[in-house]
Amino acid sequence: MNNEFILSVLRAPLISEKAARLAEHNQYVFEVAPEATKADVKAAVEQLFEVKVEAVNLVNVKGKTKSFRYRQGRRAGMRKAYIRLAEGQSIDVMAKA
């Protein structure tokens, strides 16, 4: 798997309060490409961060409907991946991001 494919699958780490709580339990959250599969995400994380991934859960987040000057619009949706690592392993998402 080449670096171009890895960087196209993993778009960015998501940093939030929920993600910080999950990081205490060896779980990390990434924004991924909409067409990415669990196998793609697992392979990309294992190769980029050199860790052992136990589980991958994917979530499609729908974009919010917003109005601006009496016009309805829609923000873009995204796909999130929740990654659980093997016991004793961790990722420093700030260093690689």
Q: DSSP readout, 53-91?
A: EEEEEEEEEPPPEEEETTEEEE---EEEEEEEEPTT---
Average pLDDT in the chain: 92
More confident call, 36 vs 7: 36
93 inside domain = no
Q: Is residue 94 part of a domain?
A: no
The CATH number linked to 64 is: 3.30.70.330
Q: What pLDDT sits at residue 6? A: 86
Residue 55: how many other CB atoms lie within 10 Å: 12
Position 86 pLDDT exceeds 60: yes
41, 32 contact by CB (below 8 A): yes
Residue 27 belongs to what domain range? 3-88
Would you say residue 59 lies in a domain? yes
Q: Note the pLDDT tens digit of each residue in 59-83.
A: 999 999 999 898 999 999 999 999 9
pLDDT at 42: 96
Domains in the chain: how many in total?
1
pTM for this predicted structure:
0.87
